[in-house]
Amino acid sequence: MTQEDTYQILKMLVERIKDLERQVLASDMNLMKAGFVAHTPRPIHSGNATVPDSNTISKVSSFSLLA
């Protein structure tokens, strides 16, 4: 195998990698156009929230009925 053969093989590999990168970019663009979202922010639950008692719930319910 000569240096020229090695050069040609490397050149073909680089072209193949560039082609694969173009395909991946095109598929990503298609997913974005379709509205696909891979990573979405998630709400953080702090864990220190208290559950309202029935008295608080009834006050809020009666207040919303008056509005």
Element (H, E) at 3: helix 3-33
Q: Which amino acid is at 22?
A: R
Task: Please tell me the predicted confidence (pLDDT) of residue 63.
Answer: 60
Q: How many residues does the chain have?
A: 67
Question: From residue 29, how far is each of 14, 19, 49, 58 by CA, in Å?
Answer: 23, 15, 41, 50
Q: Where are the domains of the chain?
A: 1-36
Q: Which amino acid is at 25?
A: L
Task: Please tell me the predicted confidence (pLDDT) of residue 13.
Answer: 95
In whole angstroms, what is the distance from residue 37 CA to residue 50 CA?
33
DSSP code at position 38:
S
Task: Please tell me the predicted confidence (pLDDT) of residue 14.
Answer: 94
Output the pTM of the full model: 0.43
Q: Would you write out the chain's pLDDT as a tens digit for each of its 67 residues? A: 799 999 999 999 999 999 988 888 887 677 666 666 666 667 676 666 677 788 887 877 666 555 4
